Amino acid sequence: MALGFATLAMLWTLCAPMTTLAQEPQFGDELYRPRLRQPGKDVMWLPTPDAMVTRMLEAVRTTGDDVVYDLGAGDGRIPIAAAKQFGARAVGIEYDGDLAALAQRNAERAGVADRVKIVQGDIFNEDFSNATVVTLYLLPDLNQQLRPRLLKLKPGTRVVSHLWDMGEWEPDATLTAGDSEAFAWIVPSPVGGRWRIPEGNGQWEALIDITQRFQRIGGTVTIRGETQPLLGAYVRGATLVFTFVAPDGGVRSVRARIDGDAFEGSLQFAGHLTPISGRRVKRDVAAGSAGSKAESR
């Protein structure tokens, strides 16, 4: 993976141990040997440690059913590990042509070229909309420029970034491997707005108003003119969960799957589950794409 060059050059000089080129590990093959911290487009090359590669893919529960996209693939170690260790199909996007070619050769040497594809291209121009897992090792400002596109991925897509977070989009998990740190997110469904949910027997109708900031949500439920706050509300991928106090004083819990403007799930009360469904009648325009800012690149 690649790390930003201009911003981190001074930090590396201050914090890294003083080593000579002869002491540095050797990378690449007889056709091309990249150098640690070599400059590229907005980045310098520093590979993710192998232990962290495995930890990142484990943390987001990568399986053979996944399509993993590595944005800034470097020498291809993350796509290769995704295929070899977890059985996933993987695509690495790398701007540098020499690194991209090296990554493809590495995939062939690892025996996973049938499941790994390396694309030479710009991560801001290439399509990764079919990803179920996205991995990153970029600068904070690049992460935030990518954030709107990540939030538009299918709800439930897992994102994991080595070293740098996503600003106001808080991680769902923080993980470590040795001295390295990474952050993981699950792309939330955009659930902000007003939902109309009729009770299955027609005894009442609920109006649920939800505000959203990334995966953080809140709101109210109104039944028969009485409004109560949503309790314990959260969205995880396409799953929406909350509890509320009904007009009769009983506490009811809702668990539903969101598909666009459709709501399908169950209501639990006194040990009984009742199927419920409904639709969004008004979107929360102010929330945008789950609280994302406009893409600036």
Say whether both 166 and 208 belong to one domain. Answer: no
- pLDDT the model gives residue 293: 43
Give the domain CATH number at 37.
3.40.50.150
Same domain flag for 36 and 20: yes
Q: Domain count of the chain?
A: 2
| pLDDT on residue 118 | 98
pLDDT at position 290, please?
55
Question: Which of the listed residues 162, 186, 210 is the one where a domain comes to its end?
Answer: 186
- So what's the pLDDT on residue 24? 64
DSSP 251-285: EEEEEEEEETTEEEEEEEETTEEEEEEEEEEEE-G
pTM of the model: 0.86
Please check whether residue 111 lies inside any domain of the structure.
yes
Q: What is the pLDDT of residue 21?
A: 44
pLDDT block averages, 10 residues each, the chain of length 297 = 47 46 68 78 81 98 98 96 98 96 97 98 97 96 96 98 97 95 98 91 86 97 96 97 94 96 94 93 69 43
Long-range contacts (CB closer than 8 Å, 24 or more residues apart) made by 19-28: 27/75, 28/75, 28/102
pLDDT of residue 39: 67
Q: Are strands 226-229 and 216-223 parallel, antiparallel or unpaired?
A: antiparallel
Domain termination residue (choose one: 151, 186, 221): 186
What pLDDT shows up at residue 292?
Answer: 44
Residues 157 and 265 in one domain: no
User: Which domain does 175 fall in, by range?
Assistant: 2-186
Question: Would you state the pLDDT for residue 204?
Answer: 77
Q: For residues 17 and 163, state if they share a domain.
A: yes
